[in-house]
């Protein structure tokens, strides 16, 4: 794998205006609050964090589906805000959590998978059919499935269709947002293994989003841990799982050791509840739940520190590690 930067996220913010009650003024909710990341060609960048931390909002900005409030996403050096939506879609494709709602129930699998080719005018009808059948076959749905409807499939099979449709235009990047979270545990690993094989075979780059660190461990080469709209730790997967720096990452790792890590939102054993994003805590936003907080943590916003092992963490303790 090279370290060539394929996509770059710079100080990305996205807020939503939400109602706080009938006669109250609307409030600003910071869903993504200053994320900076490089996505390297050929890697699997895992993004992990509890529900509501801003993963899907970040994913939608990476796909160019919603604009940023501020900051920038670039692809191959170009600001995606200036790239034509169709041209970006040829390079960056999504796989979402719910294959039930993302597949038109009245279209056959062949129609569903060939649609992007027809929309983009790639090849003639015979070529589109051939390429779509090949892709369906590649994800484990041989030709006899071509005329079936999504309703005749299992959840795992539908997610295979969604993957085939995302890959049929040969994109560079797949943004997978909780692609296995709606599936039975037994099926999850089949889909994960399929994604692993396809990445190697087709030379793809993945951004792989999950609330579940155990799933991310299975597939990611680097991992970004998000908390309340920010990346609090970013490290090579091996380093992150061996030597987590941020107390939040440590708590998430402990939660992976539950008996059935594939199921549902992990209980991170963090005591107090996830904060209301409309009222983020002052200082380090994690401090109310942090087991090792210092008095200063409620006042001081921790800067991003690079530790000796190359991890980047937003925690004053990381600072101490590097100073001593
Ligand atoms: N369209 C929207 N309008 C208002 N709030 C939103 C919208 N989309 C997301 N949010 C809020 O932004 C925060 C992050 O949401 P999301 O990106 O979906 O997180 P995740 O995918 O990590 O669960 C949440 O507090 C969520 O309620
Ligand atoms: Mg989400």
Q: In tens digits, what is the pLDDT along the chain, a chain of 324 residues?
A: 558 999 999 999 999 999 877 788 889 999 999 999 999 999 999 999 999 999 999 999 999 999 999 999 999 999 999 999 999 999 999 999 987 788 999 999 999 999 999 999 999 999 999 999 999 999 999 999 999 999 999 999 999 999 999 999 999 999 999 999 999 989 999 999 999 999 999 999 999 999 989 899 989 999 999 999 999 999 999 999 999 999 999 999 887 655 444 444 445 556 667 889 999 999 999 999 998 999 999 999 999 999 999 999 999 998 776 543
5-323: CATH superfamily: P-loop containing nucleotide triphosphate hydrolases (3.40.50.300)
Task: Pick the residue whose CA is nearest to atom 27 on ligand 1.
Answer: 52
Torsion of CA 41, 66, 177, 158, to 10 degrees: -110
What does the alpha-carbon distance between residue 116 and residue 109 come to, in Å, rounded to a whole number? Answer: 13
Beta carbon of 277 within 6 Å of any ligand 1 atom = yes
Strand order in the sheet with 70-75: 27-40, 5-18, 70-75, 78-79
Cα angle at 216 between 97 and 259, to 5 degrees? 95
Beta carbon of 31 within 6 Å of any ligand 1 atom = yes
Beta carbon of 53 within 6 Å of any ligand 1 atom = yes
- Whether 58 and 35 have beta carbons less than 8 Å apart is answered as yes
| Cα-to-centroid distance, 30 and ligand 1 (Å) | 9
159 sits in which H/E element: helix 155-167
Task: Pick the residue whose CA is nearest to atom 18 on ligand 1.
Answer: 56
H helices present in 243-315, as ranges: 247-256
- Measuring CA to CA, which residue among 213, 215, 212 is closest to residue 195? 215
Other CB atoms within 10 A of residue 34 CB: 15
Beta carbon of 224 within 6 Å of any ligand 1 atom = no
Interhelix angle for 109-119 vs 155-167, to 10°? 20
| Cα-to-centroid distance, 124 and ligand 2 (Å) | 37
What does the alpha-carbon distance between residue 283 and residue 176 come to, in Å, rounded to a whole number? Answer: 32
Best residue among 33, 52, 182, 252 to mutate for probing ligand 1, ranked by most atoms within 8 Å of CB: 52
Separation of first and last alpha carbons in the chain: 33
Backbone phi and psi for residue 261, each to the nearest 5 degrees, phi listed first: -65, -20
Domain ranges of the chain: 5-323
Residue 30's DSSP bridge partners are 15
Q: Which ligand 1 atom minimizes the distance to the CA of 177? A: 21
Best residue among 12, 16, 229, 285 to mutate for probing ligand 1, ranked by most atoms within 8 Å of CB: 16
Best residue among 29, 59, 179 to mutate for probing ligand 1, ranked by most atoms within 8 Å of CB: 29
């Amino acid at each position: 794998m090279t370290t060539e930067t394929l996509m770059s996220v710079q100080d990305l913010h996205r807020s939503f205006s939400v109602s706080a009650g009938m006669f109250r003024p609307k409030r600003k909710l910071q869903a993504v609050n200053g994320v900076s990341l490089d996505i390297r060609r050929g890697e699997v960048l895992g993004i992990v964090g509890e529900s509501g931390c801003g993963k899907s909002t970040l994913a939608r900005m990476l796909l160019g589906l919603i604009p940023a409030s501020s900051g920038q996403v670039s692809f191959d050096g170009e600001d995606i805000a200036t790239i034509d939506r169709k041209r970006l879609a040829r390079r960056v494709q999504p796989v979402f959590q719910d294959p039930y709602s993302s597949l038109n129930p009245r279209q056959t699998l062949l129609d569903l998978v060939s649609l992007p080719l027809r929309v983009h005018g790639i090849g003639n009808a015979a070529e589109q059919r051939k390429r779509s059948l090949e892709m369906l076959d590649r994800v484990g749905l041989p030709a006899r499935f071509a005329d079936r409807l999504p309703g005749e499939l299992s959840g795992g099979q539908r997610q295979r269709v969604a993957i085939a449709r995302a890959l049929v235009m040969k994109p560079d990047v797949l943004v997978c947002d909780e692609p296995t979270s709606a599936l039975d545990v037994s099926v999850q690993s089949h889909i994960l293994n399929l994604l692993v094989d396809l990445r190697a075979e087709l030379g793809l780059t993945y951004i792989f989003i999950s609330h579940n660190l155990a799933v991310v461990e299975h597939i990611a080469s680097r991992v970004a841990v998000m908390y309340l709209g920010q990346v609090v730790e970013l490290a090579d997967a091996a380093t992150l799982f061996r030597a987590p720096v941020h107390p939040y990452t440590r708590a998430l790792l402990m939660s992976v050791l539950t008996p059935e890590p594939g199921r549902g939102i992990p209980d991170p054993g963090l005591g107090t509840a996830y904060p209301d994003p409309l009222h983020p805590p002052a200082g380090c936003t994690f401090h109310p739940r942090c087991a090792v907080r210092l008095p200063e943590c409620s006042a001081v916003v921790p800067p991003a520190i690079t530790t000796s092992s190359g991890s980047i963490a937003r925690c004053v303790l990381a600072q101490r590690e590097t100073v001593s």
